[in-house]
Amino acid sequence: MQSDTPSSSSNSSQNDEGLEQIREGIFELSIYLVTAARGCVDERHMYGPLRLMSAVSRLSNLCPKDSALKPDAFLISAAKEIDENLDKVMSSEDDFITFMDQMVIKFTDELKRRELKQD
């Protein structure tokens, strides 16, 4: 009796593709962070925080919808909010700093929620 049915073989192939997408995404994010780190030396001081916030968005979107790894609804929502607010750094550093402060609060609230859920 063969253990691979067409559906299990298809699921395995989708999981492999999803994992490969995640691996590629991690590599691309790594390149981004390395070049961002170097850029921080010569660029305006607010570009470092901008690049870090962008990295959070990229990381949050690494999980393909069809992979074995379940997407994180909080991170997907955070990535969307980050993407919508990244341009604030160009128009108002104060607004961008306020936005980052708000994101820190949201992430710490989510951390507390997750820790309470584990107890």
User: What's at 115, amino acid-wise?
Assistant: E
Give the pLDDT of residue 1.
47
Residue 86 — φ and ψ, nearest 5°? -60, -35
C-alpha separations of 13 from 6, 7, 19, 55 in Å: 10, 10, 10, 28
- Write 68-74 long-range contacts (CB < 8 A, 24+): 68/15, 68/18, 68/19, 69/18, 69/19, 69/22, 74/110
Q: Write out the two tokens for 81.
A: 């909010």
pLDDT for position 88: 93
pTM: 0.74
Per-residue pLDDT at 118: 83
* The pLDDT value given to residue 107: 95
Q: pLDDT digit of tens for each residue in the chain (119 aa)?
A: 444 555 555 666 767 777 788 888 888 898 899 888 888 888 888 999 999 999 999 888 887 666 667 788 899 999 999 999 999 999 999 999 999 999 999 999 999 999 998 87
pLDDT on residue 63:
72
Burial class (CB in 10 A: 0-12, 13-18, 19+), 71: middle
